[in-house]
Structure formats: structure tokens, C-alpha cells
Structure 1
Amino acid sequence: MKICYFAFGESYHTIRWCNHFSSLGYEVHLITFAHVSKDDYPNIHLHIVNSGNVKVSGGNWHLLTHFRKIKRLVRQINPDIFHALYATSYGVTGALVGHENYIITALGSDLLVSVRNSFLYKKAIQFAFRKAKWITVMSPEMRDVAQEIGTNMSKVSIVPFGINPDVFNSNSRALMADEFVITSTRNLEQIYNIPHLLNALALIKDKVPNLRVNIMGSGSLQEKLEDLNTKLNLSKQVTFWGKVNQFQIAETLNQSHVFVSVSQSDGNNISLNEAMACGAFCIATDIPANRQWIQDGENGFLVQINDVEGLANRILEVYSNYETLQGKAIPFNKKIIEEKGIWTKNMKVIEQKYLEMINH
């Protein structure tokens, strides 16, 4: 089987998908508008299309003008499967190619934000979904949005990505007795709402004298967030790590008491799954993507978006009752991750669909 992905090459998701299916013995190609490192794609056939600046924040309508180049490349590659990751820029452009076995995977904000905020994006995604033979989404909320815009639901499947349990597990869990450690592994972009976390930390820093905080991730707001951190007098407590690899994230989560995700929107929140698997107590915003993993008060806490005081109070509650809360949360989290959060199990669904499509 020959698979061609059409996706943002700098994305961890793209790297993960390409290398997984290559490891299964399939011939994998990647067409991307991003300048990528061959080190990330050791056995992948790379096809980089120069398209000028591509903004992570969206609004990349100019990419549509390159669809003829993409069409020529796809014709040359002649893949059995042509699969776009992300429904807007790549998904819409890929829909213009007209491949027989075209698949779109929506990742989150492409459906949950773009469709709701822009009539043009809504129409573009409606067009792309009509052209796709199969569509995967990561949560029931994303499925509901696909239905709201008139998608043929027989083509839509919920397939969360999940974690690699060989990397993300609690086998090496070790907490420092003289520190209370909080970690965030979300990127430094507006949707992940890191100022919410920093403002909450400012409210509790004097009440948790041994507080240490890891902000692991990169993004366009790093300088502004570091300035805010200084303004809030959090420099002694908070460390900005920048972009780190999966092994560093897993190691840090295993040394963390609490994981916090205050994203305003998410498709699935794999970062949350990773923290659950590593045994950190999880606090996340009360959005559908997190409700499918956390039952408030059972295996974590859910907080309202932008409720800084509410987040601060929940962190203090965990600090005061850590062992009791973890006694309930850890077995719950192990069970739910095993049932629906394992990457290889979920990718088996994708592989079986690929084979079904080409055999049909």
C-alpha cells in the first residue's frame, strides 16, 4: 500500500502518522508546504511545495492557489490513499485534487473554531467534506459540528489519536518531597490561554511556598508570556522550557504533581492523555474535549474558561488533599487510557479502513 499524507510537516501529529505507517512496512509520502527536517522523517518520501509564509494561526487562503502543483505531485506519486491532516488549509486544497480515496482528518480548531467563526471557512469545509471518501474526527463534539454543517455522517468516524504507552507511563514516577510541581505542555498560542494559568499562579504562589512550574512548549506568544511572568513576579517559580521532545515531556510529567490545560478549545487533548498516563493529577478547562476524559472530582478537576480564581482554588485543593485525590484518580485514569487512549489500537482502525478502501 502506498499512502500519501498532505499536511503541515512541522506538526508532531504529521511526524507521528507518517512514521507509524512507514514502520508497518507501507510506502509513505508527505506533501507539505512546510520546510521540514529529514531527521524527523527518516524513511518518508518528502515533497516540499514552496508556498510562502504559512501561519499557524490560520488564514492561509493563498495555499489554494497551489492545488495544481499538488495535483501533479499526487498524479506522479500515484498513491492508494491520499490523506489530509487538518480540514481547512490542507483539507480544502486536497479536495481540489480529486483523488478517489481521499481522506480528511480534522484536528480540532479547524472544526471547532473556524466553522463557528467564519462563513467562508464553513463553506470551504462543507466542500472538502463532500469530496472526501472518509472523514475522521477526534471527539463527539467534532462529530456533532460535522453533522451541523450537513456532512454525510456515514462517512464520519470518531478516532482519537491516543498515546504511546512505551513513552507515557508511570513506571518511573518520582516526586520531590520538598516541591509541589505543576506542568503545562501546551504550546504558547492564544487558544491555549497560558495567561489564565500564570494569573492563577500569581494568586497562590505565597500559599504554596515550595511551588515549581514547568511551561513546556513553544509558540508565537513566548516573549509576551515571559514578560507577563516577570510582571507577576513568578520568575522564581516558573520555567519556560521551549520546545522539548516526547521523552523529556514524559520524564517531567512523572516528576509533576499536577498537570494543567486551560485551552479554550480542543479536538481531543492528547497532552491531557499523556499526563493521565504518567500519573499526574489533571486540571483542565470544562470543554467537551476534556469531558470525554475527566469526570470532575473523580479523576481530575474541570474549571471554567478564564475563571482564574476558580483555577487557583482547585490547585490549592489538590495541594492540600493530594494523596486522597490521587487515590481515586490514578486507577480511573489507567482504565480509561487503556480502553480508548492507546495510539496503536486507534491507528489499527485507520489501517483497516485504508485496506478496506483500496480493496473495495
Structure 2
Amino acid sequence: MKICFFADGESIHTIRWCEYFYSLGYEVHLITFSITAIPNIHIHVVDGGRIKVAGGNWHLITRFWKVRKLLKKINPDIFHALYATSYGVTGALAGHRNYVISALGSDILISSKSSSNIRKALRFAFKRAKWIIVMSEQMKESTREIGVDMSKVTILPFGVDPAIFNAKGKELSKDKFVITSTRNFEEVYNIPHLLHAIKILHEEIPNLHVNLFGSGSLKEKLEDLSADLGIENVVFFKGRMNQEDVAKVLKDSHLYVSVSLSDGSSNSLNEAIGCDVFCIVTNLPANLPWVKDGFNGFLVETNDVENLADKIRKVYLNHLELQSKASPVNQQIFEEKGIWSNNMKVVEEKYAELLKKKGAFR
């Protein structure tokens, strides 16, 4: 099988998909608007001009003819776009018969609700797709509202590698209370909310240590906010890490916190659960299947700093009791739906099913 992904080459999700299907013995190509290098993957870069992280990259659609030209040269069996708006719509215009779209979250949950033109574009893209992957029930409902044929939609979270994300060798520091966030520094992840909660607690918890791992356009502003709040001595901006390093940090953490404003399904949360970390996350529909409030974590609202601080305080004061209650719940949830290879097996089988249909282009 020859698979061609169409996605952001700098995204960890893209890299994981490419590397995984290469490891199964398939020939893997990637068409992308970003310059990148992934070992063993055939990379094809299309100049997309200036791309804004916050969205509004309509100009990318005009590159569809370049993508179509590359597709005819590559002649893949499967053409799979990761992200439904920019890549998904442009890929639909390229016209490959075995076209698959994965919606990742904000493309459906935020962008589709911001403009009737975006909804029309998504409806067009999904009509062209033979299969559509979404991360959660909420995302599935959003595709229904757009007007998608629901027989083509499958709920399938990515999941993580249990060989990396597990509780083996987990040993928490007795000298400090470690909080870790692995969300990027963009507006949707609401990092200032966490920083304001830390401001409330940083003198109350003298051994507090907060790891902020990630990257993004707001990094300097968040560093400045940390300094303005007087918490720069307990908050540490660590940058982007590979999966092995993420797992190591999580195993050293008492608490994982995500106060994201929107999520389709959070891989970062899956990683934390795999490493058996007690979690505080926002009360979003995507988080409800993973965090049972008061059992393996706490749910908080996106606009209540005091409540977030209170929940962090409770974890600090009662960590051993809360963690012993959370561990069996974490293990069960992770085994049921958090394992990457199990979920990717579904994708591989669907690819094979699509291949039964002849002809590459419309």
C-alpha cells in the first residue's frame, strides 16, 4: 500500500502517523505546506506562503492544483488529510478517489461555528471524502450539524504508545510538588488561567514546581505574565520535547493540568493518564470520557481561577489518597481506548477496505 498524508509536517500528529505506517512496511509520502524532514518519509513541500497558526489561511486553497499534480506523480492508494479546514478542503479539491479526512478539534468545534462560508467549505470537503475520522462524540455531532453523511464518520481518538506512556519506574519527588502542563502556547489552551491560579498558590505551597512544556506564538507574552505575577521562580518554560522526555516528566509529576477552551480529544491528557498522573482538566465534552470527576481527576470551568486554585490545593493536601483512588480508573480507561496501536489498526483495516474500489482520481 502506498499512503500519502496531507498535513502540517511540523505537527507531532503528522510525524506519528507517517512513522507508524512506515513501520508497518508501507510506502509513505507527505505533502505539506511546511518545510520538514521525517526519516524514511517521502516529503513533498508545496509553498503555502505565510501560514497563520490562528487560522484564516484561505489562500492555501489556491494551491490545490499543485497538490493534484503531485498526487498524479505519487499515485497513492490512499490520500489522507489531517485537519479538516486548510488541508481538508484543499485536499478535497485535488480529487483523489480514496480520500480520508481526520478532523482534529478546533477545525470542527471552533472554525465551523465561526462562519457560514467555512461550514460550506467543510461540507464540500466531507462530501468528497470516503471516510471521516473525528476524536469524540461532540465532534461527531458537529459534523452532523454541518450536514455530513454520518455513515462515513467514525469516532477514533489517536491514543498513545503504552511502551512509552506507562507508570513503570514512577517515583515522585518528596522535596517538591510538581505540576505539569504539556499544552502549546496558543490562545485556545488558556495558559494564563493556570498562571493566575499559580499566583494564588505559590506562597501557600512553598515547594511548588510548575513545568510548562510546549511551543507557540504566545510564549514571550506568557513568560512576561509569569514575571508580572511574581511566579517566575516556580514556573519553568521547557519548550517542545520528544515523547520519551514527555513521559519521563509526567512520571515525575504529582498533577497534570489542562485548562484548554476547546478540545476534540486531547492526546496530552491520554499521555498523562497512561503515566497514571492525577489530572485536572476543563469541563469539556471531549474530556468527560477520560476524567471521572473526583475519581481519577477533577473537572473545572474555563473561567474560574479560584476554583482551579482550590482543586490544585486539594490535590496537594490529599495527593496520596486521591492517587490511590485514581490509579485503577486510569488503567481501565487507558486500556479501553487510549492505546495508539489498537486505534491505528482500525485505520489500517479501513484503508484496505477502500482499496477494493478501483481508480485513483475522480
TM-score, structure 2 as length reference = 0.98
Query: Alpha carbon RMSD of aligned pairs, Å?
Result: 0.7
C-alpha distance in 1 between matches for 2:325 and 2:218: 36
User: How high is the sequence identity, in percent, across the aligned residues?
Assistant: 59
Structure 2 distance, partners of 1:20, 1:298, is 33
Give the corresponding residue for 1:15.
15
Q: How does 1:1-360 map to 2 (within 5 A)?
A: 1-36=1-36, 38=37, 41-360=38-357
- The CA deviation at 1:359 is 2.0
Q: Separation in 1 of the partners of 2:324 and 2:163?
A: 23
CA shift at 1:115, angstroms?
0.6
Q: Secondary structure at the match of 2:245?
A: helix
Specify every segment of 5 or more residues in structure 2 that has no aligned partner in the other structure, as ranges. Answer: 358-362
| Amino acid in the other structure paired with 2:21 | F
Structure 1: distance between partners of 2:48 and 2:184 = 24
| CA distance in structure 1 between the aligned counterparts of 2:243 and 2:231, rounded to whole angstroms | 26
Q: Number of residue pairs matched?
A: 357
Distance in 2 between the 1:119 and 1:237 partners? 44
SS of alignment partner, residue 283 of structure 1? strand
- Once the two structures are superposed, residues 123-167 of structure 1 have per-residue CA deviations (whole angstroms, 9 ceiling, x without a partner) of 110110011111000100000000111100000000110011111
Q: Distance in 1 between matches of 2:21 and 2:356?
A: 18
Deviations along 1:88-133, whole A, 9 cap, x unmatched?
0000000001111000000000000001112221111011001111
Separation in 2 of the partners of 1:359 and 1:115?
A: 32
The superposition leaves residues 48-87 of structure 1 with CA deviations (integer Å, 9 ceiling, x where unpaired) of 0112111121111000111111111101111110100000
**Separation in structure 1 between the aligned mates of residue 114 and residue 62 of structure 2, nearest angstrom:** 23
What displacement does 1:206 show?
1.4
Counterpart residue identity of residue 35, structure 1: I
Report SS of the residue matched to 2:180. strand
Equivalence for 2:360:
none
Residue ranges of structure 1 left out of the alignment (5+ in a row): none
Question: TM-score, normalization: structure 1?
Answer: 0.98
Q: Distance in 1 between matches of 2:334 and 2:115?
A: 34
Q: Distance in 1 between matches of 2:166 and 2:292?
A: 21
Give secondary structure in 1 for the equivalent of 2:351.
helix
Q: Secondary structure of the residue that 1:241 maps to in structure 2?
A: strand
SS of corresponding position for 1:28: strand
Q: Residues of 2 paired with 1:125 and 1:135: CA distance?
A: 11
Q: CA deviation at 1:328?
A: 1.1
Shift of 1:243: 1.3
The amino acid across from 1:144 in the alignment is: E
